[in-house]
């Protein structure tokens, strides 16, 4: 009776039951998690080849940020970005901020209150109001940056990935050591990451790039 009330099953003739429409929300979430790394693989490879730098694919699960795929840099000197898995730096990474920027403000505040805002470097934004202002800039510009906020001497650029209804389903980022991150290289990183995120979003059925006015913050769905 509870499952019927909540839409997960429907009651048919007699005492028979069938799956209800809300079960589709589970199948869609499962497909996104299983399919996203496969869909993203060519884009990770493309960014890695064009920039030579380390590339990440991340998703938000509940209040936790997970890196679910990465491609290491092609240079001898490379960013040590850790292993695939959970990170507590959603507020300090380009992948995390690219996703956070499109969440409703109350949800952002709840995540930050629960996870905390650890200071990883002197550049880490550790106050909620300061980060909210930073995220408004992310929405305006269409990409997120990590300016030595998570690791010293490492800069990153990230952008959100959207599906056919405009829902943010993850993010891509590229990371480089500051020794290589001159203006020209940063421009290349930004161009490659934004183009890849837009192209991957198109493959997932998204109809075009989005800006702060076009898409409400509530259009984000967590994995």
How far is it, in rounded angstroms, from Cα 159 to Cα 177? 19
Phi-psi region at 98: left, alpha or beta (left = phi > 0; alpha = psi -120 to 50) = alpha
> For the whole model, what pTM was predicted?
0.77
Q: Which tokens belong to 96?
A: 């995390």
Q: How confident is the model at residue 13 (pLDDT cuts 50, 70, 90)?
A: low
Q: Which tokens belong to 91?
A: 């507020």
- pLDDT at position 46 is 95
Higher-pLDDT residue of 3 and 196 is 196
How far is it, in rounded angstroms, from Cα 98 to Cα 171? 6
Q: Within its chain, how far is the Cα of 97 from the centroid?
A: 7
Average pLDDT over residues 140-150: 95
Q: Within its chain, how far is the Cα of 7 from the centroid?
A: 29
How far is it, in rounded angstroms, from Cα 98 to Cα 109? 16
Higher-pLDDT residue of 100 and 63 is 100
- pLDDT at position 22 is 63
Question: Tens digit of pLDDT for each residue in 190-206?
Answer: 999 999 999 999 888 77
Q: Which tokens belong to 20?
A: 């209800």
Q: Which tokens belong to 124?
A: 């880490």
In the chain, the N- to C-terminal Cα span, in Å, equals: 27
- pLDDT at position 219 is 38
- pLDDT at position 91 is 96
Average pLDDT over residues 113-125: 95
Average pLDDT over residues 59-73: 89
* pLDDT more than 70, % of the chain: 82
- pLDDT at position 222 is 41
Across the chain, mean pLDDT equals 84
How far is it, in rounded angstroms, from Cα 205 to Cα 48? 24
Give 92's Cβ-side CA count (13 Å radius): 23
Average pLDDT over residues 67-84: 77
Question: Tens digit of pLDDT for each residue in 19-32?
Answer: 776 665 554 454 45
Q: How confident is the model at residue 74 (pLDDT cuts 50, 70, 90)?
A: confident
- pLDDT at position 77 is 65
- Residues β-bridged to residue 85: 67
């Amino acid at each position: 009776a509870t499952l019927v009330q909540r839409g997960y099953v429907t009651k048919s003739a007699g005492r028979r039951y069938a799956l209800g429409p809300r079960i589709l929300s589970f199948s869609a979430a499962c497909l996104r998690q299983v399919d996203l790394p496969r869909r993203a693989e060519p884009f990770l490879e493309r960014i890695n080849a064009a920039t030579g730098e380390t590339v990440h694919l991340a998703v938000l699960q509940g209040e936790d940020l997970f890196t679910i795929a990465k491609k290491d840099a092609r240079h001898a000197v490379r960013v040590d970005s850790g292993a695939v898995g959970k990170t507590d730096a959603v507020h300090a990474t380009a992948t995390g901020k690219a996703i956070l920027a499109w969440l409703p403000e109350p949800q952002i505040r709840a995540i930050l209150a629960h996870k905390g805002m650890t200071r990883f470097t002197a550049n880490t934004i550790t106050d909620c109001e300061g980060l909210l202002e930073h995220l408004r800039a992310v929405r305006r510009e269409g990409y997120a940056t990590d300016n030595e906020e998570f690791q010293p001497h490492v800069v990153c650029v990230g952008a959100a990935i959207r599906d056919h209804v405009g829902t943010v389903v993850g993010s891509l980022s590229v990371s480089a050591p500051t020794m290589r991150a001159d203006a020209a290289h940063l421009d290349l990183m930004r161009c490659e990451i934004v183009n890849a995120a837009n192209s991957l979003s198109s493959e997932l059925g998204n109809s075009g790039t989005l800006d702060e006015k076009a898409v409400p913050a509530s259009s984000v769905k967590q994995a």
